[in-house]
Amino acid sequence: MVQIRGILEKVKNGELSVDEAQRALEGASYAELGYAKLDFQREERTGFCEVIFCQGKRDEHLVSIFEEMTRIHGHAFGTRADQHQYEVVRSSIESACYDPVSRIITTGKKDIDKKGCVAVCCAGTSDLPVAEEAAQTAEYFGSRVERIYDVGVSGIHRLLSKNEELQQANCIIAVAGMEGALASVIGGLVKNPVIAVPTSVGYGAGFGGLSALLTMINSCANGVSVVNIDNGFGAGYIATQINRLAVRSPGQE
């Protein structure tokens, strides 16, 4: 969270200019770049800093946004990036890192203790890009993540062998394409919330994830909520909100 002391420390260390500090201290709700309005107060309002959706952005816009976010917060997080976009950002920000599986770019360094537990499950290896987007989003925002991959219902014994890990999680993210049955099965096994993420993995009648989406929405298992197709980021965000609430309860870490 961007607090007054933190802003003053950044000025002292030469990380922020006087003008930038004044803008932050005066409570400006955003930074105007012309083509973008960067919401620097979002973490103070919601507990989560703004994240950059990279897909479709022009190179010069993307670089400038990453530069501003990194300068103010000391770090930045971008989703749905490709290799070219990473190379463009990396040419300007030396600390930039890229994961080609989740397609996430991070810059700077965010020191945070990871607490609680979010379990991220996926049905098959083809679902890994969405599962990793969810897992890395949850980790970025401070959740400890347990990855349980390739546990689809066609070999349900694989999922059942991980029942102990599922029971210990404060929230479970179930990522699946095809018919999307994984979320219902997990929902019938655990007492804590399940966030279902349909993926666009599957053959023609899967309709790019629509079949999995409808299955998950129509789940007969209670405690299952659903995000949009391939929306790993949204699942990781909501799971962290749930995990933070659980961590505040007595006996949670």
CATH number at residue 145: 3.40.50.1970
Burial classification of residue 12, based on how many CB atoms lie within 10 Å of its CB (0-12 exposed, 13-18 middle, 19 or more buried): exposed
Shared domain check, 121 and 97: no
Residue 40: both structure tokens together? 């620097």
Nearest to 243 by CA among 117, 133, 112, 135: 117
Shared domain check, 89 and 119: no
> Domain range holding 26?
4-108
Shared domain check, 67 and 28: yes
Digit-by-digit pLDDT tens for the chain (253 residues) are 345 667 778 888 888 888 777 766 665 567 778 888 888 778 878 888 889 999 999 999 999 999 988 988 889 999 999 999 999 999 999 999 999 999 999 998 877 789 999 999 999 999 999 999 999 999 999 999 999 999 999 999 999 999 999 999 999 999 999 999 999 999 999 999 999 999 999 999 999 999 999 999 999 999 999 999 999 999 999 999 999 999 887 655 5
Residue that finishes a domain, picked among 108, 123, 145: 108
In DSSP terms, 198 is beta-bridged to 176
Shared domain check, 70 and 193: no
Residue that finishes a domain, picked among 75, 108, 141: 108
- 134 within some domain: yes
Q: How far is CA 147 from CA 128, 144, 183, in A?
A: 10, 10, 15
Residue 97 identity (one-letter amino acid): C
User: From the CB of residue 228, how many other CB atoms can be counted at a distance below 10 Å?
Assistant: 12
What integer pLDDT is reported at residue 1 of this predicted model?
A: 39
Shared domain check, 127 and 73: no
Shared domain check, 47 and 150: no
- Beta strand residue intervals within 126-233, DSSP E: 143-148, 171-176, 194-198, 224-226
Shared domain check, 242 and 155: yes
What integer pLDDT is reported at residue 120 of this predicted model?
A: 98
Residue 55: both structure tokens together? 């897909």
**Total domain count for the chain?**
2
Shared domain check, 36 and 88: yes
Residue that finishes a domain, picked among 108, 136, 162: 108
Shared domain check, 101 and 119: no
Shared domain check, 104 and 193: no
- 40 within some domain: yes
The structure's pTM equals 0.85
Cα separation, 192 vs 50, whole angstroms: 27
- 253 within some domain: no
60 in Cβ contact with 86 (< 8 Å): no
Shared domain check, 74 and 187: no
Shared domain check, 181 and 143: yes
